[in-house]
Amino acid sequence: MSSTVTLNGIELPLLTGDPNTWLRSSLVSVHQITTDGLRILFDRASVLQQNNVSSSTAFDLDPKTLVATVFYEASTRTACSFQAAAVKLGAQFMHVDSNHSSTTKGETLSDTIQCLACYADAIVLRHPTTGSMYSVLQQQRINKPLINAGDGIAEHPTQALLDVYTIQKERSGKGMDETMTLLCLGDLKHGRTVHSLVQLLATTAESVVWSKGLTIKYCAPKGLEIPDHVVHAIQEKNLKVVQEHYEDLDVALKNSPGKVILYVTRIQRERFPSETAFEAVKGSYVVDAKLLKQYNETIEMVLHPLPRVDEIATDVDEDPRAAYFRQMQNGLYVRMGILSLILAKAKATS
């Protein structure tokens, strides 16, 4: 089996159960992650979670390790959890906010990243332009690992990793007796977290989250449907994954014989061409306590990458099935796991 995958013309390493495949590697897409790669990462995240990130572990980094978080779009959870992860592993971070960098003087993204690669040991990048990660990687002089923290509307692989970790944790003890349904709701056109999640789950659900099969339901307002290329990428793999499309949430839920994991996303106002276009779809869906009661037997868990706006009412927060705050917390452990694998002090010996 090839140990690399070529995406957008760039050859990237597959990240497997061998920790050396992660060492100094860039993490740009979920297509790099194998099932064993997911297992090694989740085992680490679990150890770090049990340790309550309070004391040193074998996964600690060299204290001189420096992680740059470079954000050209707003972020609370992703930026802060990467920064916290670096610090909790004994390393350090520097944050670059594009509003206060030489970007404002007209510097290109590649030049900025090349500069930061001179100082930091890894670069965590978020950028609004789809494909930015690949254009940065084309620049041969950037010789430090690049971690995709949100590539336009394309992918957000570390969010998908923490989403699948959360599903695994929340389902632990539930057994493999059912086919799992993941119902993705909201702005599926612009929702990069969904694009990464469905592709990661499609390849790993059976062995990682103990599901016998997977049905993915996409429920979106007209015009905000899941892009065809995401659906086709899953179809092409010939997996036992069923994909269905809905506009009406009730219909999507009524057509679900088994348990449903509801993955809610916000309508991404900043990505609309005009305020009028946004107003037309704003508030399309609201998940509230009444809906959870009505589908008490169906909805097993509610996830959301956050931030939420109005698509999940606060009356859902106290329901034990509301897993989105635990999901947010898990982001720290999973990102600690990612940094500890990519920036480990030395090669692992078997």
Q: Which residues pair with 134 in a beta bridge?
A: none
Q: Examine the residue annotation and report whether 282 is marked as an active-site residue of this protein.
A: no
Provide the binding-site residues for ligand NCD, judged by CB under 6 A: 77-78, 150, 156, 159, 192-193, 265-266, 268, 305-306
**DSSP helix, strand, coil percent of the chain (3-state; round to 5):** 40, 20, 40
Q: In this structure, is the dihedral angle defined by the CA atoms of residues 255, 182, 126 and 95, taken in order, positive or negative?
A: positive
Q: Tell me the closest approach of the beta carbon of residue 192 to ligand NCD, in angstroms.
A: 5
Q: Give the active site residue among 88, 156, 171, 192.
A: 156
Q: Tell me the closest approach of the beta carbon of residue 126 to ligand NCD, in angstroms.
A: 7
Q: Tell me the closest approach of the beta carbon of residue 85 to ligand NCD, in angstroms.
A: 14
Q: Tell me the closest approach of the beta carbon of residue 205 to ligand NCD, in angstroms.
A: 21
Query: From CA 189, how far away is CA 255, in angstroms rounded?
Result: 23
CB 55 within 8 A of CB 37: no
Cβ nearer to ligand NCD, comparing 77 with 189:
77
Query: From CA 146, how far away is CA 153, in angstroms rounded?
Result: 18
Cβ nearer to ligand NCD, comparing 15 with 267:
267
Q: Examine the residue annotation and report whether 290 is marked as an active-site residue of this protein.
A: no
- Structure tokens, 75: 């972020």
Query: From CA 259, how far away is CA 172, in angstroms rounded?
Result: 15
Q: Give the active site residue among 105, 222, 229, 276.
A: 105
Which residues have CB under 8 Å from 325's CB, separation 6+? 317
Q: Tell me the closest approach of the beta carbon of residue 185 to ligand NCD, in angstroms.
A: 13
DSSP for 223-252, please give it: T-PPPHHHHHHHHHTT-SEEEEEES-HHHH
Cβ nearer to ligand NCD, comparing 121 with 311:
311
Cβ nearer to ligand NCD, comparing 14 with 85:
85
Give the CA distances from residue 60 to residues 2, 79, 204, 333, 340, in Å, rounded to whole numbers and listed in that order.
30, 20, 28, 13, 7
Q: Tell me the closest approach of the beta carbon of residue 47 to ligand NCD, in angstroms.
A: 24
Cβ nearer to ligand NCD, comparing 267 with 316:
267
Query: From CA 238, how far away is CA 231, in angstroms rounded?
Result: 12
Q: Examine the residue annotation and report whether 6 is marked as an active-site residue of this protein.
A: no
Residue nearest to ligand NCD (CB): 305
Q: Examine the residue annotation and report whether 100 is marked as an active-site residue of this protein.
A: no
Query: From CA 184, how far away is CA 319, in angstroms rounded?
Result: 19
Cβ nearer to ligand NCD, comparing 128 with 213:
128
Q: Examine the residue annotation and report whether 77 is marked as an active-site residue of this protein.
A: yes
Cβ nearer to ligand NCD, comparing 197 with 292:
197
Q: Give the active site residue among 31, 44, 77, 171.
A: 77
Q: Give the active site residue among 126, 190, 195, 217.
A: 126
Q: Tell me the closest approach of the beta carbon of residue 75 to ligand NCD, in angstroms.
A: 6
Which residues have CB under 8 Å from 61's CB, separation 6+? 86, 89, 90, 91, 339, 340, 343, 344, 345
| Residue with token string 């809905």 | 246
Q: Give the active site residue among 78, 112, 193, 204.
A: 78
Rounded to the nearest 10 degrees, how much is the dihedral formed by the CA atoms of 215, 210, 31, 35? -160
Query: From CA 26, how far away is CA 322, in angstroms rounded?
Result: 33
Residues annotated catalytic, as ranges: 77-78, 105, 126, 156
